[in-house]
Amino acid sequence: MKKIKLKIKKGDTVKVLAGKDRGKTGKVLRVLPAANRVVIENVNIHTRFEKSRQAGKPGQKVTFAASVHLSNVMLMDSNSGKSSRVGFNIMEDGSKVRIARKSGKAV
């Protein structure tokens, strides 16, 4: 299986570009590289009803954030506060740094 290199990482702030939550921003909680999906805080909230595991106790309603496809989100530039594409820059010491294309500064 080929390892997929993603430009969005856990902890990044992203903006949703498409879907029912378009325009919302949130922090990335999980990255699922095999499925090209991300889980974002307070975005794409689903509700699941679970049966009681013990007799006599009621079931419960569980809400959770479902995943969003990677193509529907864009990284927020921490410097300008706007959404931006991601690029890479190799520094003089040989380290690789992610940069925001709009501002050209490191993310």
For 46-57, write each residue's pLDDT tens digit: 999 999 988 888
Residues 64 and 88 in one domain: no
d(CA 11, CA 27): 6
- Judged against a pLDDT cut of 70, whether residue 31 lies above it is answered with yes
The pLDDT assigned to 80 comes to: 83
50, containing H or E segment: strand 45-50
Alpha helices per DSSP H over the chain:
none
Residues 72 and 85 in one domain: no
Please give the backbone phi and psi of residue 70, each rounded to the nearest 5 degrees, phi first: -60, -30
The pLDDT assigned to 29 comes to: 96
Pair of tokens at residue 47: 């509700």
The boundaries of the domain holding residue 93 are 80-107
User: What is the mean predicted confidence (pLDDT) over 74-89?
Assistant: 89
How many independent structural domains does the chain possess?
A: 2
Residues 52 and 18 in one domain: yes
- Judged against a pLDDT cut of 90, whether residue 102 lies above it is answered with no
